[in-house]
Chain A
Amino acid sequence: MAEVVSVMTESPAGGRARAARTVLGQVVLPGEELLLPEQEDEGGPGSAGERPLRLNAEARSQVRVVCGPGLRRCGDRLLVTKCGRLRHKEPGSGGGVYWVDSQQKRYVPVKGDHVIGIVTAKSGDIFKVDVGGSEPASLSYLAFEGATKRNRPNVQVGDLIYGQFVVANKDMEPEMVCIDSCGRANGMGVIGQDGLLFKVTLGLIRKLLAPDCEIIQEVGKLYPLEIVFGMNGRVWVKAKTIQQTLILANILEACEHMTADQRKQIFSRLAES
């Protein structure tokens, strides 16, 4: 076993089996294995491989870790399957959630995600909605606020829909609704006929939707605007004039490739002009 470990440490590319805690915020590559905190404490990487994962064995090492996107359980370790920065969120108890923050363009439906879809077809009782995933999502005409069999919502092919996934898994057709559990629209539904739709990477959307995102606050100071972010990478924006809408869209697109300092400069320059 010791020999294997030495192989790991000398391999510069693999850099295998590092402790998850030590690489937080760093770039991880597919194929890397991460050790959970519990294993570090008890014996270091050398002996970690010999023990099976005991999730509830002792009170001391009771770790409940959730593998987020880009991670999979591999025996008693975490296997990285996507490239990106490793993130961790500590909830009240347990080992928390680990995930890989990657910059991808293709969306994979996830239950509970709010997305912007384009209606591609009406067939009977359901609408087919393109969300950018591998298959169109279905949306019942009853899944709108106040919709009844008689009172059908006014939805045309080509309209934009802001909705939420209630069914999304790899084996089933995704299903969207435009109401929350109380039957309220809660901001969801058909998006107005004006405004501009554009696409950004999924990583940028997550950044923009973060609770303390300074970009949104800065953008809000520039012009009064209406904006909708879909987790599928689509952004709809509307300002008073076409010109302002275009400026906003271009700023948001450009945010992707800028550091926080660069963004500050841009915003201060725009505020002046």
Chain B
Amino acid sequence: MSQSPVNDFSGQATLRYKQGWRALNRLLHEDRSFSGNERDCAFLNCGGDSPSFATVSNVTGFDFPDDGRGLATVDWDFDGDLDVWLTARTAPRVRFLKNNAQPRPFVAFKLRGDGILANRDAIGARLELHLRGSKHPVRIRTLRGGEGFLSQSSNWLHFGLGDATGIEKLVIRWPGGKPQEITGLEAGKFYRILAGKGAEVFTPPAGRQPLTPSESQPAALDESARIVVPPGLPLPQLTTITADGTTQPWEPKSGRPTVINIWASWCAPCIAELTEWAAHEDAFTAAGVDIVAFNTDSLGENTTSDPTKVAALGKKFSFSLAGARLHEQGLHALDHLQRSVLDRWKPLPLPATFLADGKGELIAIYKGSVTSAQLLADLKLSDADPSQRRAAAIPFPGRWVDEKAGRADPQRVASLMLDHDEADAAIEYLDRCIAVLTPQQEQPGRKDQLGDIYYMAGLLQPASSKHKNRAIASLTAARDLIPVDLRIRKALAQELFGAGRAEEAAAEMLAAVKINSTDLSLKADLADLYERSRQFAKARAIYDEFLAANPKDAPARYRLAGVLVSLNDPRAAIQQYKQTLSDSPRTLEAANALARLLAGHPDDAIRSPDEALMLTQRLCSATKEKNPDFLDSLALALANKGQYPEAVAAAQKAISLLPANSGPAGEGIKSRLKLYQSNQPWRSPASPP
């Protein structure tokens, strides 16, 4: 009941991403370091009588600067101490650390349950090792299957023996089974123990390779990349700047695959790349591919580019538009496009190439140079289904859980545009997506995708002066594609209501309520909509039903009381206001509305001057006489009691607290002030306001 569709869905409000989330999301994608360069920690248990650990990260050599994640232990080399395996976000993503603590006395056990009472792995078994000559004669360990973070350690259980002179016995509490005692154990041995049987010495294999120290050399980051994208990602609108400086939209030729390249005359790899392509122009022609090379020399702050040189190079390559300059908007659009595909958002480098199919959908992106052979090979992915595209996108073989891969999410491109305050570009990109997807809508899954795109467009359009009138059409299209989506119904209801089509809005909300009859907030929204469209009887019915299910919902009851006032049923309204206050004494608006009814209603039988005055005095003292509405009500109640000088003072104070541009509310107080000054009380109009 907290928010009506009108409050909730004003056009601006739908655009309001949570600002912080947006910023954070961007920073995470854009390579910001967060609590990075931290060194792993080792805390040494000093073993005293009270808990005391020393930080020994550096001295032990454990202080790796990796973005460390998992950590598991195992005596890998069977030398009697615990070695460590680590995983990390940064490279090397795996480390093996040999522990050099030995020689120290130890003993290790590997348990095997009977598989009936105790599970075979003996997970959950508790070992009690009883030692001779130690200050701490009993040591306990439990075998765990998974501990720490994302890690499982070896199920060999290892005991350092410290100051002990010998082993007295081992007590095993098998999970689900009886305790077992084993004696005759010696330090320095590895024992395998089968539940109910004795301990058997395990001899580690001979011929172990020496564990020589090695600093792993991680690979350096290389930003040149070939990125095969999932199908379903239309190219954005690109714009060129013609020789006379005007802008001109550019479209690829329908039905023909296109190689879109961006280059600069000072960029040697760009020239080398285009030269190689030019040498194989016949192959491109034979494959039916257009090559479009956009020059970026004049973009940005650098205006020192030499148009003659660009034109000369353009001629040399003879590709379409080779001399044409890309408009800054086009570069941004291509940059958004590549970011939408990747999780790590780096600026688009030069040269960069986009391979698109005959439908104007992206096949692959190349950062850095790409050969003509690679382009022609990748052209074969033009008609590849999502699974084939996915297979082409990955560098190493493996298996997927789902055989079927998904399609691209073009809304991410629009989202990035929006994040860069290019809302109109976002809407226009969604239009392109709609144009591409509409012919495919009978294919599985496309209706939902198309509906979501219409929905996003419908949310963005109200804030755009250029596109605001299209919102209802977009949302209607979205609703028709995904009739069960409540979000769409609510957004459409909002837009319809805003356009003065209250009945249609109510119909949408009614449909929403039918889709999900358990969501009470939808009912509240519908009632609110009826109220705002002055269908008070319908609103009352909804509130009655709502309150039957939620009798303690004070805001709903408050609204019901308002509806009752509008329905000229002041007695019922008073009862509902009082019930609201009884359920939720801090609902100040309810107290205020009640007081105004009791002080200003034209019917003498309804008014209750003392009660009204008491309520308004409480309201004003609770808000430290800082609320102009409550002061207005106080003035009203005072005048009703015939205390006109006090009423004038209260009204004047209310006026002094009003904001400069207070509109009709301010006018109301001022007109009432005039009444009080001529010793007259105020009465609400006989018909509802």
B is bound to A? no
Name B's A-contacting residues (CB within 8 A). none
Name A's B-contacting residues (CB within 8 A). none
